[in-house]
Chains A and B, each alone.
Chain A
């Protein structure tokens, strides 16, 4: 798999079509690294000229900001903006809705003005443009898939249909949870909850959501966010359903259908 860094391309005097912002989960979380690789393989397979920042990338600052530490957020943001502006970055794609939201909506005020696309929208465009060709009768044909809306894609940025369009391209039987789209229930990880234990209550949010997802009878729970993936994976495991029900990212599903990953 190729994953050229922006530094390498720039040294060769080349400019990529798009910067793939990997994010911390995509770089360090073992489960989510598979999503990063799946997405990179798709980009490679359809000849999208992309680059990554590699070790020059750092946390966008989103969890610090949501936890109240504005200084730390802005330090991170300014550093990232300096790096990206120095390379002349214009277009960014990322699989993480939190990175997506922050870079898209919050970096502009700090001097970082980019076109930012979430990978669900990017994948939908690739399918619409015919650059990803879906095969007839793929392995998900007729299988029940439910999609869990990420808050930072959905309510935060109004992206509800692109991820569903990607799943429909798999010819799958898309079933909705009772709480979906604008009323979708959070996985429980947003607002920096990913980085602490929940407050006392009757139930963990991810268990509530996993119950709802399992009640659809779907064998695949599709997600488009690294935090949602962790939370729902944990929820499914908590219900001892991990053998029957898989939590997968959109990029993995597309990469599988293209025979790019095993």
Chain B
């Protein structure tokens, strides 16, 4: 009974903290200007199914894709076992599914254990890739102490959570031999290999280890779920809405600015212009509240894998631009703004802005808009859109574009080409023969 009360309290506390945090994240995303688009639901559902659920884009890099798949399937399937944990915890039962499922329960448990071992090994390999082999994309300059630690905490936690399951099953099987209270699970292949470690221990010790492992696993999972909402690991959930709401136009399409369209129509005296348009607001983006809600959702979907940066031509050739950093900065800025709001301070009055204080002009100016980052992202994040919105602010609100770009603008205005040629010479190619 005490165990049940403790369990209910633990579970309720975790659910409360997570719900509050989810609310905060929603509010943060709604700081963005343009709401999420939900037209063409079939295409969106297809993207979500193939890319998020089906991991389609992960498979461009085979080895990490396979390892990631183990962890992903492990996560999905082992959660079924967590369901049993929760029911047992609430009802005070032990392995409530076992009697109903009979020998199928043995099969299921063996599948879970296989996945637990696969997850464990994959996480170990990932830890080695990050910390021993030092795969380059995990060591770019924006991968400072915290992002690197965050990744290691996640992998390490998953390793010990899996060890807890295996320990629990090993001691449980030993207890099944002597104590009638323990439901027969049948032989579990992987955990039975751990049985010699615990064999010969007094029954009380075994019961303690089994209970400890059970509690460790469930509390571990709940604590990890809370941690995730503050971590890059949030991609396991946000990847789904992120792929659903992702842009459906060809990657080359740049979002239109209807306020500008109206002004241009007024200038050209076009009949369909609205002579009394609403206040235009800021052109482009200087801070997160100028970005779209999709841009902000993107930032929460980013797990900092760095595939974008490793494909970015600017980054490859040593420029300061890193598409991953664009997403990390956007998220950091949202969190910083939220801290101010929570303290009752005016959200954007800290004298800082996303542009300049987080992302510099040198970074956004280095982008070739080649879409390599967009293509590379396994969860359809678009760092390019943020870069282009920041450029819009710089060019239109500050007139701060690089001097050669201002020259190019001038050429287009005066000679209708980005180079300084006479428009009268535009058709000369037909007469020449060089």
Contact = CB atoms under 8 A, between A and B. Distances in A.
B365 A199 contact: yes
Interface string A23-61: 010111110011011001000000000001011011101
A171 B251 CA distance: 32
Interface string B389-418: 001111110000110110111001100111
A59 B430 contact: no
B426 A76 contact: no
A76 B408 CA distance: 13
B388 interface: yes
Given A72-B413, A202-B318, A190 B249 contact: no
A208 B252 CA distance: 23
B372 interface: yes
A37 B432 CA distance: 9
A134 interface: no
Interface centre among A67, A157, A204 (most CB of B within 10 A): A67
Contacts of A151: 368-372
A37 B284 CA distance: 40
B42 interface: no
Contacts of A183: 60, 311, 372, 375-376
B313 A186 contact: yes
A56 to B, nearest CB: 9
A78 B391 contact: no
Nearest to A23: B417
Contact of B316 (A75, A76, A152, A185): A185
Contacts of A75: 264, 267-268
Interface in B357-395: 362, 365-372, 374-376, 388, 391-395
Interface centre among B367, B368, B396 (most CB of A within 10 A): B368
A200 interface: yes
Contact of B412 (A3, A52, A61, A200): A61
A217 interface: no
Interface in A155-185: 155-158, 182-183, 185
B264 A78 contact: yes
A190 B284 contact: no
B430 A1 contact: yes
Interface in A100-125: 101, 105-106, 109-110
A90 interface: no
Contacts of B371: 151, 155-156
A110 B430 contact: no
Interface stretch (B128-136, B254-262, B293-301): B254-262
Interface in A175-229: 182-183, 185-186, 188-205, 208-209
Interface string B307-327: 000010110111111000000
A158 B375 contact: no
Nearest to A80: B416
Contact of A110 (B256, B319, B404): B256
Contacts of A193: 368
A30 B254 CA distance: 30
B260 A71 contact: yes
B277 interface: no
Interface residues of A, number: 73
A158 B316 contact: no
Nearest to A202: B318
A257 interface: no
Nearest to A203: B317
Given A58-B423, A190-B369, A156 B250 contact: yes
A2 to B, nearest CB: 8
B284 to A, nearest CB: 7
B434 interface: yes
Interface in B231-275: 249-254, 256-257, 260-261, 263-265, 267-268, 270
B425 interface: yes
Contacts of A182: 60, 375
A208 B256 contact: no
Nearest to A57: B426
Given A59-B417, A70-B396, A110-B261, A65 B434 contact: no
Interface of B: 60, 249-254, 256-257, 260-261, 263-265, 267-268, 270, 283-284, 311, 313-314, 316-321, 362, 365-372, 374-376, 388, 391-396, 401-402, 404-405, 407-409, 412-413, 416-419, 421, 423-430, 432-434
Given A68-B392, A71-B396, 8 more contacts: A27-B428, A33-B429, A34-B434, A57-B426, A63-B408, A68-B393, A186-B370, A188-B313
18 contacts: A3-B427, A5-B427, A27-B429, A34-B434, A58-B417, A67-B409, A68-B393, A68-B394, A69-B401, A70-B257, A71-B263, A155-B252, A155-B370, A155-B374, A192-B408, A196-B404, A199-B320, A199-B366
